[in-house]
Amino acid sequence: MNFTGRSLVTIDDLSNGEITAVFDLADEMSQSMKEQLDVCRGKVMASLFFEPSTRTRLSFESAMHRLGGSVISAVDTKATSLAKGESIADMARVVGSYADIIVIRHPWEGSARVVADYAGVPVINAGDGGHQHPTQTLLDLYTIKKERKIIKGLKIALWGDLKYGRTVHSLIFALAKLGANIVFCPTPGFEVPNHVIQKLIAEYGGELERLAASEQSDKEKVSPLDAIYITPGSPHQLAMMPNISIQVELKRGVDALYVTRPQKERFATSEEGEGFKKYPVVDKKLLKEKEFEKTLIMHPLPRVDELACELDADPRSMYFKQAARGVPVRMALISLLLGVKEIATPDKSSPAGIDYPAYRQDLGLKCPNPRCVSVQESETKYIKPTFKIVDTNPLILRCTYCEHGFEPKYVASSHWHEGAPEYKKYHSAESHWARTIRPENLIVFNSADEAEVRGFKPSHYATVPHKRSDGQKR
């Protein structure tokens, strides 16, 4: 596959073969750093960091300098015309005329997608709110591969804030597509969001086995195991085991423990802040357990209190190596997207995911995620919220910007008879109608009021609870 001119907005933008190609080039470049000084000579990278960063920003800038290119930067929205109300799209168009490639970090989820849509040059997402951080994922995978040689079949435990941690969200999809098993150990209340789980199962196959809190021993309550994702490539017997056997399986060892800090800047309530006070620290005592004997201790950094400094000299600790490897990985990526380096990809697979039907009605439906770029005042003038219909039982729509999924409450069909308003009816999204209306005719409403303002009347199926096709009442 040709990388030239492409953007990296989510980890889905790269196929497995392309990820391997980035690693091969990173290996090549890290062995001959001084020979890379002409690779990007004459090229300019715009480094736009509208959220704090040490590693990502400085490793991208170091990467571009080591490739012989130049860097222009903006690190605070208050110092740019975004503070005057300029839209992200206008900023992207302008910066795209000054730079050959743009790296952007921004707190709004889906913002990197907008920049990629308007810049006219390759765009790299350096973290968009709690959505994704695909280059962190590349260096995480690169580290696992360097240390363990393979990723397929490994057991990787994710620990901490799995709700708001964007590094975790992109890592989950990457691990799944590379055939790893994932053990979810969230701080209670900070479990992986449903829309991430829904996408994981629908697009990467495999199975999710959940462990009920009541089934956990006292020790597991301290280091909580929430669920395990079993890759379709794994021997299937793990999937067939009852939950207790999953715990036994874990005792056989975890290949990597990926620790994350509480993403306090994204907490929505004061209770969320309280929840983290009880969280156990990953320290020498915890890592004495047999399952962690040979475990790689990983962290995207920065750390706060969740990872003890006493581990820094432990040979299992990988976090500073991860950060250092950000430079060759980003050098490889920049060179490939700029088309100044080429490398053969081991397979020709396409990164394309499932081609879901689009939700087409222009009736003012908004993404319910308040952090989504598509609902911000400065952006609503030009962004038309767009959604994919990713499931019909239950009906789930996914925002194409922030990828949050939601279940609308009511449905209707645009295919109602002109001149016969008695057919202009809305129905519960839990009724069979959600599955019978063709995607091109589907209209959804999040409330009965929304439907009635549009002139729709409730049908017999608007309020009566209906059974799902699996027989469960919802």
CB of 115 to ligand CP, least distance (A): 18
CB of 77 to ligand CP, least distance (A): 16
Angle (CA) 369 194 168, round 5°: 90
CB of 324 to ligand CP, least distance (A): 12
171 vs 372, beta carbon nearer ligand CP: 171
**Do 67 and 32 contact (CB within 8 A), yes or no?**
no
Phi-psi region of 110 (alpha: psi -120 to 50; beta: other; left: phi over 0): left
CB of 142 to ligand CP, least distance (A): 14
169 vs 409, beta carbon nearer ligand CP: 169
301 vs 308, beta carbon nearer ligand CP: 301
127 vs 129, beta carbon nearer ligand CP: 127
CB of 304 to ligand CP, least distance (A): 12
CB of 61 to ligand CP, least distance (A): 11
Q: Which residues of the chain form contacts with ligand CP (CB under 6 A)?
A: 53-56, 127, 133, 136, 300-302
Total residues belonging to the chain: 474
175 vs 225, beta carbon nearer ligand CP: 175
303 vs 468, beta carbon nearer ligand CP: 303
CB of 383 to ligand CP, least distance (A): 26
**Do 153 and 422 contact (CB within 8 A), yes or no?**
no
d(CA 124, CA 53): 15
3 vs 258, beta carbon nearer ligand CP: 258
127 vs 405, beta carbon nearer ligand CP: 127
55 vs 371, beta carbon nearer ligand CP: 55
CB of 127 to ligand CP, least distance (A): 6
53 vs 414, beta carbon nearer ligand CP: 53
d(CA 19, CA 12): 10
CB of 239 to ligand CP, least distance (A): 33
